[in-house]
């Protein structure tokens, strides 16, 4: 994955287990902040 690539379609659960798809955010600018509790 590199700058200029299109983000692949993925769906991940939110904190309540509901699926969230990155496709839902087409048409919006998105900042993904990747973190962990450790």
Partner 1 sequence: MAVDIQGADAARVHAADKTFVTVIDSENILSDQFGFKIVPNGIFLDEDGVIRFAKQGFRITEPDHFEAVEILIQDPKAHIELKDVYHITDETQSLEKQLAVTKFKLANEYLNSGKKDEALKEMDEALLLDPDNFLIRKQRWYIRYPENFSPTIDIEWQQVQLEKEKAEEAVKQGGQICGPEGCVIPGTSFPPNQVFSIKTKTNEI
Shortest separation between residue 24's beta carbon and partner 1, angstroms = 9
Give the residue carrying structure tokens 């309540």: 16
Residues 7-36 that bind partner 1 (CB under 8 A): 7-8, 10, 12-17, 20, 22-23, 25-36
Shortest separation between residue 33's beta carbon and partner 1, angstroms = 6
Buried b (16+ CB within 10 A) or exposed e, 5-37: eeeeeeeeeeeeeeeeeeeeeeeeeeeeeeeee
Residue ranges in contact with partner 1 by CB under 8 A: 1-8, 10, 12-17, 20, 22-23, 25-38
């Amino acid at each position: 994955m590199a700058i200029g690539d299109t983000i692949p379609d993925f769906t991940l659960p939110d904190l309540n287990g509901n699926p969230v798809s990155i496709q839902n955010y087409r048409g919006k600018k998105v900042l993904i902040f990747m973190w962990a509790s450790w």
